[in-house]
Amino acid sequence: MGANPLSAVLDARDVSRSFGDKQVLSGVDLQVGAGRISALLGPNGAGKTTFLRILTGLLLAEGGHVSVAGIDVGRDPMAARRHIGFFPSADRTFYNRISGLENLAFFGRMYGIRRQEALARAGKRLVDVGLSDAVDQRVGLYSHGMQKRLSMARALLMDPPVLVIDEATDGLDPEGARRVQDLTRSIAADGTAVVWTTQRLDEIRGFAASNGVVEGPARVVKSVEEISRLQPGDILVCQVTNPTWAPIFQKIAGAVSDIGGSMSHAAIVAREYGLPAVVGTGSATTRIKDGQRIRVDGGRGVVTIL
């Protein structure tokens, strides 16, 4: 789900790119505002990585326009990249014989900051990603999950307004994947615009708003007029709710929203009525089809398309 273009930190319009005779991207739009998470979904070969390379200034678009924090990526990719943190699916650029702290400080120095500031930033980000106990440990001794978190720490080192995440949970066990997803939501809550790519089309994650698990038909509501279509047992899927919608919670079985946190209207009313709910998914209304059967796990913050 996009942001208002006037408030978008990342704004991509009508982006196209081909390689030889193969059209990889055609007319792609994406606007992401501060504090929002937008998901790019699709199997291998769908063009996700090509699009990310264009967003980060590593590849020029053949058509369209991309700006980051108001900077035209095509005209000044180096300046734009200073406002982007990139969290790759596979990161082989760390030095295994030195510590996580020394690695991050080294990359901070490459940004042109003084050593003391680089060390301070590195230490803070290692704490943020849950690696405070491994600050002085050699990276070669880090587990796969720890290395993923170290990659996130580096992506956040310079406090970028935009974070781009490419298949970040690839190869992680469920607990490791949950850690990365929780970190991402926390970062977005602090105001960072996040772009997340994934091949997982069946699972949508958000904030755990109200405990319980329910399965049922999704009713995707995109306007006030569509509320009347809700039937007892339906699971409401919407962008955001407002106080005038409270009565509908008496008959629905659960709720899912694109926007919101644990204290949003949808979360509060769902808890009041004892309904499983997941909020702040960023993409439920675009990924779930009306009438599709879904499972809502309000305790874990997971919606599964069945």
Q: For the ranges 23-32, 39-48, 250-259, which has the lowest average pLDDT? A: 39-48
pLDDT at 7: 66
- Tell me the pLDDT of the chain averaged across its residues: 88
Q: Is 101 exposed, middle or buried (0-12, 13-18, 19+ CB in 10 A)?
A: buried
Tell me the per-residue pLDDT of 227-268, one tens digit each, with 9 for 90 and over: 889 999 999 999 998 888 888 999 999 999 988 877 888 889
Choice between 41 and 53, residue whose per-residue pLDDT is larger: 53
Strands of the chain (E only): list them.
Answer: 8-19, 22-33, 37-41, 63-68, 71-72, 84-87, 162-166, 193-198, 203-205, 207-210, 213-221, 235-238, 254-257, 277-279, 293-297, 302-305
Choice between 24 and 262, residue whose per-residue pLDDT is larger: 24
Average pLDDT over residues 113-117: 95
pLDDT of 299 higher than 50: yes
pLDDT at 263: 80
pLDDT band at 102 (very low <50, low <70, confident <90, very high): very high
pLDDT at 214: 92
Choice between 184 and 178, residue whose per-residue pLDDT is larger: 184
Question: Two tokens at 167?
Answer: 């298949």
Q: Give Cα separations from 65 to 11, 49, 73 (angstroms).
A: 8, 17, 8
Residue where the block lists tokens 């970040």: 168
pLDDT at 67: 96
Choice between 88 and 10, residue whose per-residue pLDDT is larger: 10
pLDDT at 2: 41
Average pLDDT over residues 266-277: 90
Average pLDDT over residues 11-37: 92
The Cα diameter of the chain in Å comes to 62
pLDDT at 4: 44
pLDDT band at 3 (very low <50, low <70, confident <90, very high): very low
Q: Give Cα separations from 251 to 210, 277, 290 (angstroms).
A: 16, 14, 18
Residues above pLDDT 90, as percent of the chain: 54
Residues above pLDDT 70, as percent of the chain: 93
pLDDT of 1 higher than 60: no
Average pLDDT over residues 148-160: 93
pLDDT at 144: 87
pLDDT at 40: 79
pLDDT at 245: 87
Task: Enter the pTM of the model.
Answer: 0.66
